[in-house]
Structure 1
């Protein structure tokens, strides 16, 4: 059904297998920093018009790959498609973030919450298949969803929040209701990601964007437990190929060891975490993804390249002294800013590829006796 994969570097790194260079892709790599994306969005008329149109979603997913030799594509969609399909009414006002018309504000609405009919998300699965075909084996395709906790934040708050007082108020005053939302979300997210895998996604990622706003203890009970529930239900093999699962918790460095034991193949790190020390902490349990500060991309290209080299040096040689490999996927520590100069991304990708190749040459040089 699909063309053979020509560049499997990303998938191999996810599984801690040898790679010729460190693969790189960027969170939000298809986005407003690219003029061609803005032109396509203008044709679509709105963000949701873009995301729900298979042709446009395919077009914008491939745009960054036309500019840069990235090692993976990520489905163009939104983390909030699942609660939208639950009937909460997702919209995006120009210049604003997502907003729900029907947030969960009373017990009756929460008790009535159910996993959505996946046919309401058919446009996502059709886009996955369309993108996979359009890639023609160039690089792997990543599918994704928001985590159960992150979805719940938007579902209760109704929009983004600075203090999360509504969702945290519910968590502490009625934990039973919070657990009900999270249970429904976890099962819905697992089914959603499995349907993306069936449609052609070759890896999946869970974005726990707001896990880091929780207190220790609350994170484990209300975020990590439900991410684990998602991972436990995922297909991990399709057509004889392993389907890697990535978990990214922004602000989750405190709980790195616990996230690494969640069942994920890859743990994404934000820019506050030292990559080398993180590698020591997780050992050979998981691959790591990250973790350049996105604001580095506002510096001149030479400085961007130097900072990229520092991230790679922090991780170190991927081949260990025992002959095994520790996987590293280069990425930003969060999504790329809409104000990023596109030419600075070129400098980043070139530096990651060239410097990581040099690392491999050095690590294979016989040591003097």
Structure 2
């Protein structure tokens, strides 16, 4: 497995042809996913090992991507710890009882043996997935402390995260306790996946772009570092990714990442100027091009390859996740195109066979 191209790229060793997988490749864009999920809630499907494994493998089987991303959700660890949370259609994760006071934080479950036992369905799902994937690596996944804690504070999705940012400022000690609890929650979730067979991990911070550099360093970086430290002793690449977080790339890398995901708002060559020399990168095709012409999609892919050519390693991905309304054939064709590119540094010509 260590010879797999995507793992080589994540470790800073270039492969002969580009490696690619897509965030949110397992899910709503696939008709086979919708058929399998019928009658089962999102979070229930995440903790049914047979379903989670099959859903993870579906896009690898269909698109021939170079890695599977474990099918889960950032609130699954909280649910397994005993918090009441569901994903409401058209809304997103919603917690039964938002965590907004010191008393709420005091009432959070202790993350002891019960939590470890509750992760057994996750470990079993990973084992099943790895067996099915064969020589294709599995990437483990967890939500970063800031984003998960924000969902808990806001109670659900938020555009401005005002309650969360206010808690940071008005009660920094309470925020630190909450973020530390989530860091342990997510870090142990990542570790469970690696020990069950995942070959890399990604810590995903959807909302961190809302913070200033100073806020991140003071209130967030130590907790992201604690989550990533849970797997730092294991021989797997650690990818850190944030949405709208171009201004935070060096600080997010310093939290303990070995590779950095970059969203579509920043060109990879510019990201490389901000990161320590030799940092592998992942990204960053704009998901919007999935709804354009084939010519535009392939031009975007070539531009991303050119921008990432100076990296020690580059895993091609989207700059965020696959939108639910994406035509699956578009992804299949994009993977095929990327696998046919044989001049990564130039990538000026469309080398896809006629």
Structure 2 length as normaliser, TM-score? 0.92
Q: Does 1:18 align with 2:11?
A: no
Output one character per residue of 1:214-250: Cα deviation in whole Å (capped at 9) or x when no partner: 123111122222111222232443xxxx311110011
- The separation in 1 between residues aligned to 2:222 and 2:310, in whole angstroms, is 33
Q: Does 1:135 align with 2:137?
A: no
Contact 2:12 2:278 in 1 (8 A): no
Output one character per residue of 1:162-218: Cα deviation in whole Å (capped at 9) or x when no partner: 121221221111111000001111122222211111111111110011111112311
Aligned partner of 2:44 in structure 1 is 49
Task: Give the gaps of 5 or more residues in structure 1.
Answer: 319-325, 363-369
- The separation in 1 between residues aligned to 2:212 and 2:253, in whole angstroms, is 19
Contact 2:91 2:157 in 1 (8 A): no
- 1:305 Cα deviation from its structure 2 partner: 1.1
Aligned partner of 1:163 in structure 2 is 160
- The separation in 1 between residues aligned to 2:91 and 2:254, in whole angstroms, is 36
Output one character per residue of 1:298-324: Cα deviation in whole Å (capped at 9) or x when no partner: 012222111111111112255xxxxxx
Task: Give the gaps of 5 or more residues in structure 2.
Answer: 348-354
Contact 2:309 2:345 in 1 (8 A): no
Contact 2:238 2:258 in 1 (8 A): yes
Contact 2:18 2:344 in 1 (8 A): no
Q: 1:1-369 to 2 correspondence within 5 Å?
A: 5=1, 8-42=4-38, 44-113=39-108, 114-115=110-111, 117-137=115-135, 139-237=136-234, 242-316=235-309, 326-355=312-341, 357-359=342-344
Contact 1:309 1:351 in 2 (8 A): no
- The separation in 2 between residues aligned to 1:9 and 1:358, in whole angstroms, is 16
RMSD: 1.8
**Which secondary structure does the structure 1 equivalent of 2:66 belong to?**
coil
**Which secondary structure does the structure 2 equivalent of 1:103 belong to?**
coil
Output one character per residue of 1:58-111: Cα deviation in whole Å (capped at 9) or x when no partner: 111111112112010011111111222233211122333111112213221212
- The separation in 1 between residues aligned to 2:221 and 2:149, in whole angstroms, is 13
Contact 1:211 1:249 in 2 (8 A): yes
- The separation in 1 between residues aligned to 2:111 and 2:166, in whole angstroms, is 24
Contact 1:129 1:199 in 2 (8 A): yes
**Which secondary structure does the structure 1 equivalent of 2:260 belong to?**
strand
Contact 1:140 1:202 in 2 (8 A): yes
**Which secondary structure does the structure 1 equivalent of 2:344 belong to?**
helix
Contact 1:305 1:347 in 2 (8 A): no
**Which secondary structure does the structure 2 equivalent of 1:76 belong to?**
coil
Change (3 A) 1:62 1:169: same
**Which secondary structure does the structure 2 equivalent of 1:313 belong to?**
helix
- The separation in 2 between residues aligned to 1:235 and 1:129, in whole angstroms, is 21
**Which secondary structure does the structure 1 equivalent of 2:140 belong to?**
strand
**Which secondary structure does the structure 2 equivalent of 1:16 belong to?**
coil
Deviates more, 1:343-352 or 1:75-84: 343-352
**Which secondary structure does the structure 1 equivalent of 2:21 belong to?**
coil
Aligned partner of 1:321 in structure 2 is none
**Which secondary structure does the structure 1 equivalent of 2:203 belong to?**
strand
**Which secondary structure does the structure 1 equivalent of 2:325 belong to?**
coil
- 1:261 Cα deviation from its structure 2 partner: 2.6
Contact 1:148 1:182 in 2 (8 A): yes
Contact 1:236 1:244 in 2 (8 A): no
Output one character per residue of 1:7-54: Cα deviation in whole Å (capped at 9) or x when no partner: 600100000013121210000001111111111111x42212321211
